[in-house]
Structure 1
Amino acid sequence: MTATTAALAGEPDRFSPFAHLTVQNTALYRQVMRAFVVAKEHFAVHLRPEDVHAALPGEVRPGELDGVVKALDKLVEWGNLRADPDTGRVTAVEDFYRKRFIYQLTQAGEAAEEALAGYDEALGRRGALQAIALHDIVTQLRALLVLTADDQPDPGKTHLALDALASRFAALADNARAFMGSLQRTIDLHEVEEAVFLAYKDRLIQYLERFIQDLITLGGRIAQLILELEESGRIEVLLRAAAGREAADAAPEEAEHATQEAYAHWAGRWDGLAAWFLTRNGRESQARLLRGRALGAIPQMLAVVRVLGERRAGRSDRSADFRALARWFAETSDDASRHRLWRAAFGLYPARHLTIDADSLAARVAAPVPPTTSWAAAPPLRISPQLRRTGRYERRGKPRKVEDRQERRRHLAEVAAKQAAETAAARARLVTDGTVRLSELGELDPASFGLFLQLLGDALATWRPGMRHTVATSNDGSMEIRLSALTEGPAAEIRTPSGTFRGPDHLIEIVDLTDGPTHGASDR
């Protein structure tokens, strides 16, 4: 036998520590191994059979100690445990001839338990839709934008920023994937109690709606920041700086290869991040797909609630109806009762268009007609001419008129036009002719002031310690604000119908990007 053949022949022995998963008494073996893992966590070196017997839960614990000993011996045979002679309690010569062992985990058994623990954790993980991770991604992308301002960005800071961004994004993607998987199992009512589902369905729907709203709001901002980094061309510099930092400890002869591998690794991570929030090459972004799945999960959950409500109301399927009918047939005492049950169950009673009232039913009870009576010899049945002709008593009324919704559409159009006009007026009011002081904006109406606060908040969100100037864009990309700090000066006041807004005075320039190419204050 060659070495290769011998290796292949011995290959199954490598997986013998997992043999206890495919035999009888798997639950007992798992709990025995669990007892050894817990003992190791408490720094216990070995266990005796009576220790294992006491540590087992009641539902799997054998009645006799011999059952535990047999399980331990099988685990020793499979390589999960190691048995050593127990000489600590030998007090007589006869004790040397008794089968006494102490047991401890082998390296293979410990590795198998770690693998099974990871497997159980991955399957049982429910995940989460981390809206806070979206805010962290925005913060890290803005930190990268700040680093691009330097011609030679610091490799250490760049690597830390990119590593924090990648870690946060990986956590977001993994948790979202796990959550959507657990949500689908919940919708399918797998591994979930109906009472628990009905109890937390409202909170789950609110949780989905809140995440969808955050994903819509912050997803666009993240996409815009990614485009700014890519269009400036500085992201390549940052990726190469991070790759150089990562490959700094490589051996001299492998430095170039390590740098190339590190750069390919970081470039792939960046492409994955961009594909999550940007639609490219005809493929929808993962954020859009996740939003679609989350939106689709809400009506699916409502459908599950409706199904559970029908179950609780006593509705049953056809097979349950037939089983109940068979039970009723079995409980009847004579053929006459069975005939009545048959007619009632399957509609084999006088047709609805025949004139049947209480008097005719009483007459039939008094003088029943045998089933063997021929049609010609049976008493006549009175049929209403109206029902004979139309099949129904009531006359059909006029169809409902089609409702005219022109007035409602006109009202909605007026409201939309009014809102658009107010927004346009607010934007026109805020646009400055070059750079002005914040205190020179004057009095603002509520719509203009609300838009101003949004722009000011976007600008201050990008402000970092030591900065004197910043540029930010509104969420919809229609306006741009440029804010510069002043060394000294009085406080700025902006009057509104609701009160006065006060704060440190700044130089400010607000530009409407929808009017075409914009120029900075230096160009005016």
Structure 2
Amino acid sequence: MGAATAFLQEDRLKLFAFTVAEKHNEYLWVLRAFDIARANYVVLLHAAEIADTLARHAPEDARLTPTDIAPLLEQLHTWELLERSYDGSRAATLAEYRNRHYVYQFSQAGYKAFRAVEDVLGARLDDASLSRLVLPELLADMHELAEANRQADGDRIYRKLSRLDSTLSEMATRAAHFYLVLGDLVRTTEITPESFLVHKDALLTHMREFSSDLTRYAPKLAEAIAVVESTSISTLIERAAISDERVFLTIDERRADWQARWSGLSHWFVAAEAELSESERLREGTMSAIAAVLSLLRRVTETRRGGVSRESQLRHLAGWFANTATEDSAHALFHAVFGLGRPRHLSMVHPDADIIPASRSWWEASPVEISRTLAETGRAPSPGLPGRVQRNDGGIRRLREQQLAAQRTRSAAARSLASVGVYDRTLNEEETEVLLSLLNAALTARVRVSGRTSGSTGSDSGVKLTLTDSEISTVVRTTRGRLHLDRLQLEVADVTRR
């Protein structure tokens, strides 16, 4: 995740700040007033109108005055749930006009945040089911989609694709919710088995019918997808993108979005190579859930028949502990039931042996760090055998080859400077790099003597640069630009030939 994306997500989290604020109930009822007005096609609201709405729809303890509502609106505007604007039409006098009466409305992100909170507050967490009845509807929509593409009906293609996408998304969401609730039921059945026994028959019947319908319709849906794709899927996506009513997206963005949606829809019922389709995964998950429920039913039935449950077992165990004759007997019972070993006794010298003697009990001495080996085995840790040296010979060889190639390139550039010179031509990048390093060495060696500068030299890669005073300024042309030397003359010579 990039830094910009992380900042954007963190910035949007403040939309939910009202849920943990001190006056979260007041904030929630103010936002509900906006939602009630939105249902009546009223967008902009003033504090007085919100107070009237709450007086009609809110309980007695949630009704607020316009004076109480004003700071709540300002804070919701700060959290970017609401947008604020001026309404001069409410002013009856010049003074009121100058006060600029504010009106508020939901921001786009603010409305989504409010709806998310309302959905969580109003959701029935135990209301879960598998939507098997949508499978024949999906099959019918697939055939109609292929027919619409043959007839070049773009609007009908857009409607059918939208319906297929929303239906399949709802089916996946309901399935995930169903198995989540089923997992909670399995985990809590030992405490309250009655809730499981009451619904076991309906639960098993529901899962078996869904698995049967999914097995029956999955091949038909895969064939229908193949029929749709045979009518030119690229043309279908293009027509859907043209009929798409999302005006704030470009045609390319809409085309890419519908292509991604169709790929996901196709993957639901058509398996890729060496992979299972989503419908096959869902069918396997349903069969596993049926097996888990049957196993749970068997355990609950055996427990009921024998009159022994986890609660009764724990009560009997507690009675055994209470009736043990000695403490040693209680320790033996504990070890037999829970299988925990005896504590390991350790002996070692404290790091501060001058202050804390070895004869002092561990209960009285300050804590000391011990190694994991000593705690688990009772043996002092040893350094062990030296680890094997990991050598990357291939990487070392490549780096050495790169180094030699760079040295050869630098030597060739230095010889070119010595043989051709630096004037009356344009130096390439390698020659420029060598020249600058020679200049750096030569200029570092120049020393001021009685207001004059003596000549200096610099050597590198078998060549020697001599820097002398000149009556005129010289210019060296390079690939990086022109190098102006104020009353200096350069001379490069090959020292290896002398």
TM-score (norm 1): 0.43
Q: Radius of gyration: which is bigger?
A: 2
